[in-house]
Amino acid sequence: MRDAEPKMAWEATRRGIAEAMADIDGALPGSVVVRHMRCGKSSCACKADPPTLHGPYIQWTRTVDGKTVTKLLTEDQLTRYQPWFDNARRLKELTAMLQIASVHAVERHEGWTTPAKDD
Ligand SMILES: [Zn+2]
């Protein structure tokens, strides 16, 4: 039974994931939604038919101490911080991958699985 190669492959996977994580220099929580809205004025263009809605409003919503916090971003700000929103998603994916690879490593080290096949 030769399992040295698959073991090394999984170690390489974990190292690769860790290296990808090391490249992330910022990650913002929450989500961004772009909205167009109506205001309270009855004679406004946003009440016309067809309506001209106000906006776009770029809303960044996140949870702080169990409360929802919303900030409006300008288009410039969104452009500037978009990479950090993308990074947060990437980090979540990488964490999930690292967990799968780590569970696999534990199962191998502890002999909890029977390999389906050698490839
Ligand atoms: Zn209006």
The pocket of ion ligand 1, defined by CB under 5 A, consists of 39, 44, 46
Between the CA of 81 and the centroid of ligand 1 the distance, in Å, is 29
Q: Is residue 119 part of a domain?
A: no
Global pTM value: 0.73
For residue 59, give the H/E element and its range: strand 54-64
Q: Is residue 117 part of a domain?
A: no
Domain containing residue 86: 4-110
Per-residue pLDDT reduced to its tens digit, 81-116: 999 999 999 999 999 999 999 998 899 899 997 655
Between the CA of 67 and the centroid of ligand 1 the distance, in Å, is 29
Q: Is residue 115 part of a domain?
A: no
Between the CA of 78 and the centroid of ligand 1 the distance, in Å, is 24
Number of structural domains found in the chain: 1
Strands of the 54-64 sheet, one edge to the other: 31-37, 54-64, 67-73
Q: Is residue 44 part of a domain?
A: yes
Between the CA of 36 and the centroid of ligand 1 the distance, in Å, is 10
Per-residue pLDDT reduced to its tens digit, 32-48: 999 999 999 999 999 99
Residues 46, 38 contacting (CB under 8 angstroms): yes
